[in-house]
Amino acid sequence: MCTAVPVKIIDIGAGAMPMGHVDHGGRVVSCCFAYVPEAQVGDYVVIQNGFAIDLLDEESATASLAAFAEVTAAETVSST
């Protein structure tokens, strides 16, 4: 099972298959924005296999990122 994590768009190029970059937890990752042509720099998207597949509002993205951080922190504590 794959887990989709919200990422913030850094830049988007033009064209039929617009490529760009997102911030994935401090790591810059390339992806294609063909499925979300309405996406803009600063928006949050969900990526799957190198494609942005859905836009998220900032509130939802922030809540999801906070939940992932909480789970990660709990896993770190339980493994020690």
Is the model's pLDDT at 3 over the cut of 80?
no
pLDDT in tens, 22-72: 999 899 999 999 999 999 999 999 999 999 999 999 999 999 889 988 888
- Enumerate the domain spans of the chain: 6-78
Q: What angle do CA 4, 9, 15 make, to 5 degrees?
A: 105
Q: How high is the pLDDT of residue 52?
A: 96
26 or 4: whose pLDDT is higher?
26
Domain 6-78, CATH class in plain words: mainly beta
**For the purposes of burial, counting CB atoms within 10 Å of the CB of 6, is it exposed (0-12), middle (13-18) or buried (19 or more)?**
buried
Give yes or no for a contact between 32 and 19, defined as CB atoms under 8 angstroms apart.
yes
Location of structure tokens 């993205």: 61
Q: What is the mean pLDDT of residues 5-33?
A: 95
Q: How high is the pLDDT of residue 69?
A: 87
Give yes or no for a contact between 46 and 54, defined as CB atoms under 8 angstroms apart.
yes
Q: How high is the pLDDT of residue 30?
A: 97
The C-alpha atoms of residue 77 and residue 62 are separated, in whole angstroms, by 23
